[in-house]
Amino acid sequence: MKSPRFIVAFCISLITGSVTCKASSEALQNAESGPDRISGVSLERREVNPLAEDDPAYLYALAEELDRQNDQNNLARIVDLLKKSASMGHSEAQYSLGVHYKTGRGVEVNLAAAATWFLKAAEQGNADAQVAIAVAYFMGGGVPRDPQLGIPWLRKAARQGHALAQTTMGTIYAEGELVAKDHAKAIDWFSKAASNGEPDAQNHLGTYCEAGLGGMPVDYDCAVEWYRKAAIQGSSIGQFNLARLYWSGAGVPQSWVLAYVWMNIAAANGDEDAPQELSTIAKQLDPGELERARELSRRWRIGRDVVDSEPIQPKLAR
């Protein structure tokens, strides 16, 4: 069975541009009830009230409402509304417009324009935009590549509680390639992100506990706790690591059945190493145990733990 799985690819995945656009808006939260109303303006004809054209929050809310309809015919209108709102200084519109330019959604891909709008929003304190402009500096997307200019923006987002930024700051300090390696700072950032429910940070903390890194004592109970939190959220790395501990009995009562279950789930979630490990575990199970393990695997859903002693109920027809 392999050693603890690190998540060295996470920082890269963030740096390559996997930034998620939030669709939150105070204007929408405060809108009148009913699917066709925002701030008292009918959306049935998709027209902007001339009296609201100087209200950037309204324009942004209207763009978001149109976007939720998932109609490609709305894209040009959405971009137009975002441009108007962004030009008036609305930070969420600026960030969203940057995403459109970066992905080519409704406009031609223009990384320089994307970076410009990300920077405007970042300067206003928008955490998602701070991550996005950090990514731009890490990758050279629309700006000259300079990771050292990206790190301060990433840190700003992390200090605002942005879990992905916190995890990436932890990864940067753990790897020590862009800054001096500092396990204490890595653990601090991972702990913040893990407390915010970020599964990759939870995996990192599990690894620190299991391997006794950064001056931490080896603590398998701690490792199991963090791996389990990540696994329950659907992290294939957390599932793989938890399976290993059930296989060895480190921090948990040894259970080849549960080792099979979590390794099987990890394999189903795309972990490349899990199928080979699964085959090894399967050889230790008798036919009854193997069938039980497979049934527990089939019944697993995100948000649930797996308990070997729980009764298996017949599945209900959907």
In-domain check, residue 212: no
The answer on 186 and 49 residing in a single domain is yes
Task: Say what the pLDDT of residue 233 is.
Answer: 96
Last residue of a domain, one of 137, 163, 196: 196
The answer on 277 and 132 residing in a single domain is no
CB of 257 within 8 A of CB of 286? no
Task: Say what the pLDDT of residue 50 is.
Answer: 57
The answer on 42 and 108 residing in a single domain is yes
Which residues, at least 6 apart from 91, have a Cβ–Cβ distance to it below 8 Å? Answer: 120, 121, 124, 125, 126, 129
The answer on 228 and 191 residing in a single domain is no
The answer on 223 and 176 residing in a single domain is no
Task: Say what the pLDDT of residue 28 is.
Answer: 27
Which residues, at least 6 apart from 121, have a Cβ–Cβ distance to it below 8 Å? Answer: 91, 92, 94, 95, 98, 128, 129
In-domain check, residue 211: no
163 token code pair: 């879990």
The answer on 302 and 154 residing in a single domain is no
CA distance 270 to 273: 9
The answer on 298 and 253 residing in a single domain is yes
Tens digit of pLDDT at every position of the chain (318 positions): 666 655 443 343 443 343 333 323 333 233 333 333 333 334 444 455 655 678 999 999 999 999 999 888 999 999 999 999 999 999 999 999 999 999 999 999 999 999 999 999 999 999 999 999 999 999 999 999 999 999 999 999 999 999 999 999 999 999 999 999 999 999 999 999 999 999 999 999 999 999 999 889 999 999 999 999 999 999 999 999 999 999 999 999 999 999 999 999 999 999 999 999 999 999 999 999 999 999 999 999 999 999 876 544 433 333
Last residue of a domain, one of 145, 161, 196: 196
In-domain check, residue 141: yes
**Could you tell me which residues are beta bridge partners of residue 301?**
none
CA distance 274 to 231: 14
In-domain check, residue 168: yes
268 token code pair: 């189903």
Task: Say what the pLDDT of residue 309 is.
Answer: 63
- The three-point CA angle 99-62-114 to 5° equals 15
CB of 193 within 8 A of CB of 170? yes
The answer on 317 and 173 residing in a single domain is no
The answer on 190 and 78 residing in a single domain is yes
The answer on 30 and 134 residing in a single domain is yes
Chain-centre distance of CA 2, in angstroms?
26
Count structural domains, the chain: 2
**Could you tell me which residues are beta bridge partners of residue 42?**
37
In-domain check, residue 120: yes
Give exposure, 110-123, as e/b (b: 16+ Cβ within 10 Å). bbebbbbbbbbbbe
Structural domain including 24 reads 9-196
Chain-centre distance of CA 102, in angstroms?
19
In-domain check, residue 235: yes
In-domain check, residue 259: yes
- Which H helix or E strand runs over 248? helix 236-248
Task: Say what the pLDDT of residue 112 is.
Answer: 98
CB of 245 within 8 A of CB of 3? no
Task: Say what the pLDDT of residue 2 is.
Answer: 64
- Which H helix or E strand runs over 37? strand 37-38
The answer on 301 and 226 residing in a single domain is yes
The answer on 232 and 139 residing in a single domain is no
For residue 135, what is the domain's CATH number?
1.25.40.10
In-domain check, residue 205: no
CA distance 96 to 108: 15
Question: pTM to 2 decimals?
Answer: 0.79
